[in-house]
Amino acid sequence: MSNDIPAVSVIIPVYNAAEFLKDGLNSLLKQTLREIEIICVDDGSTDGSLVILKEFEKADARIRVIHQENQGAGAARNNGMDVARGKYLAFLDADDFFEKNMLKAAYDRAEETEAEVCVFNADLYDHTEKVYKKCTWAFRKQYFPEKEPFAATDENVRNNIFRMFNGWPWDKLYQREYVRRLGIKYQNLRTTNDMLFVFIALACASRISTVDEVLIHQRVNVRTSLSRTREKSWDCFYIALLAMQKELKDRGLYDTLERAFVNWALNFSLWQLNTMTGSAYEKTYRLLKRKGFDCLDISRHNRRYFYSNKEYDKFLKIYTTPYEKSSGYQKAK
């Protein structure tokens, strides 16, 4: 790469992450790929995160700190992307940590395959139990085609593109020019603000490649994690799914990828419902039953269209059962 253009721009939204920030930044500074820029976007932190970021910025010229009023991780990633200069983009979380060859392995594979998106393997680190756990649902090799790179619309890929990978951004490397050409941004949602960006980037890609090596460790079971606030933003998943559906239609991809989308929409909706409690569960149940399953085209198809009989049975039960007669209502009484 040119001395003026980093190989990878690393973009990190930071909100009250002081407890883990130093570990994450230190593991980035130890990356074997040296030609990187690290753009940290402080999202109005109140816990001293900004002070830590400024210290790192002074110590290493590759780090750039941007401060914004609290707008959420989606806006932070967008603001970081606006100033990024690297050939590739990596979107990482402030509380995760990384193998020192993460960026080098992903960058080399992306260059070798001329990939628009390169996906690598990951695992989970349980912060409370202090143990590593497998993350098999985000890198499902059984659905990968034999040859790489591959396109989302390839005949042997199209039905599985949204279940072979997860809709989070941090286990992927994106070609910046490709992202610019697509004109995609992160949604301004409290949660599920990354799914639209990630899945549209995958859906439009004609060159996707992978690295079958655990390169990143996602810290989970953290009390302050944004994912723990979903009950305050219970409908974000539905807003994101509708936006994804519209984007696929607008880009002329829906007919080709409809089965993949519908199956993902059902899987994701059921997961959201099953992890909600109290009033959030009731509101989600009523939304899906009243219009969600219809608007997402789930109710248009018969059992054979779906990959999971168990999920289809759950859909039918919700679709035909008033909330007052549901098991969730009985538990809440």
Query: What's the pTM value of the predicted model, to 2 decimals?
Result: 0.95
Domain match, 78 and 167 both = yes
Q: What is the pLDDT of residues 104-137, one digit of tens each?
A: 999 999 999 999 999 999 999 999 999 999 999 9
Domain match, 189 and 287 both = no
In a domain, 121, yes or no: yes
Tell me what pLDDT residue 221 has.
86
- What are 39's strand-pairing partners? 11, 64
Tell me what pLDDT residue 224 has.
54
3-state secondary structure 133-199: EECHHHECHHHCCCCCCECCCCCCCCCCHHHHECCCCCCEEEEHHHHHHHCCCCCCCCCCCCHHHHH
Q: What is the pLDDT of residues 82-102, one digit of tens each?
A: 999 999 999 999 999 999 999
**Where is the domain boundary, 181, 209, 227?**
227
Number of H helices, E strands in the chain: 13, 9
Residues listed for the chain: 333
Please count the structural domains in the chain.
2
**Where is the domain boundary, 227, 257, 284?**
227
Residue 227: is its pLDDT beyond 60?
A: no
Domain match, 253 and 214 both = no
Residue 324: is its pLDDT beyond 80?
A: yes
Domain match, 197 and 287 both = no
Which of the 8 DSSP states describes residue 279? H
Share of the chain above pLDDT 70, in %: 95
Domain containing 305: what range?
A: 234-332
